[in-house]
Amino acid sequence: AQSVTQLDSHVSVSEGTPVLLRCNYSSSYSPSLFWYVQHPNKGLQLLLKYTSAATLVKGINGFEAEFKKSETSFHLTKPSAHMSDAAEYFCVVRYSSASKIIFGSGTRLSIRP
Amino acid sequence: DGGITQSPKYLFRKEGQNVTLSCEQNLNHDAMYWYRQDPGQGLRLIYYSQIVNDFQKGDIAEGYSVSREKKESFPLTVTSAQKNPTAFYLCASSIQSGTSGRVHNEQFFGPGTRLTVL
């Protein structure tokens, strides 16, 4: 079955330290992968997307993600966390074989001062 | 400004009442979606529409209904048959539904409507 797994429900880091949010997806010939951010009581905003042009994808607010086919992973990283990064992050997969979009369960990122 | 809007932002309903949540987009997108989000959980698909006058059930369609009479509008009705309607509802749209070829068009989300049943 097609699926996406966010390995951590909650991640807490200190301000200024690196951020790593993990995402794995079930294997597919040609997935499209996305990371979204959601601040409290707001809609989702696209951070970045993988569309096979390059395996390292740069997004907004200093975030980036690397597509690793051998590991079926699409982890989200940021070199230095900022207080404003505190939010919920969703990894999303879209398979070319279906119109359905699959959301991960989300990772809540907390930033310690 | 192009975008997707939802109204109202907060909605209160008495048990047994139907309510309709509005979703409008001026992005000229073909596909529109309704999701439900419960505390601490991801998004679950209620209904989606790939084209005007057509829509399909998502994973949790029971107790909900939709219409797609215009390209820019996709209202969601939460009926009295929905047993636990209190949730945050998100509407989204995208350029294409992804039924053929490479599909990497992202979804654009509205700000959401928080529905509370009293």
| Gap from B114 CA to chain A (nearest CA, Å) | 8
What pLDDT score does A76 carry?
98
The average confidence (pLDDT) of chain B is: 89
For the stretch A27-57, pLDDT in tens is 766 788 999 999 988 899 999 999 777 889 9
Give the count of beta carbons closer than 10 Å to the beta carbon of residue B94: 23
Q: Mark yes or no for CB contact B112/A43 under 8 Å.
A: yes
Does B100 have pLDDT greater than 70?
no
For the stretch B22-77, pLDDT in tens is 999 999 999 999 999 998 778 999 999 989 999 999 999 999 999 999 999 999 99
Residue ranges in chain A whose pLDDT is less than 50: none
Q: From the list A51, A98, A104, which residue is nearest B42 (CB)?
A: A104
What pLDDT score does B1 carry?
56
Chain A residues in contact with chain B using a Cβ-Cβ cutoff of 8 Å: 9, 30, 32, 34, 36, 41-46, 49-52, 90, 92, 94, 96, 98-101, 103-106
| Gap from A98 CA to chain B (nearest CA, Å) | 6
Q: Which residues pair with A46 in a beta bridge?
A: A36
Q: What is the DSSP letter of B14?
A: -
One DSSP character per residue, chain A reads ---EEES-SEEEEETTS-EEE-EEE---SSEEEEEEEE-TTS-EEEEEEE-SS-SEEE-GGG-EEEEEGGGTEEEEEESS--GGG-EEEEEEEEETT-S-EEE---EEEEEE-
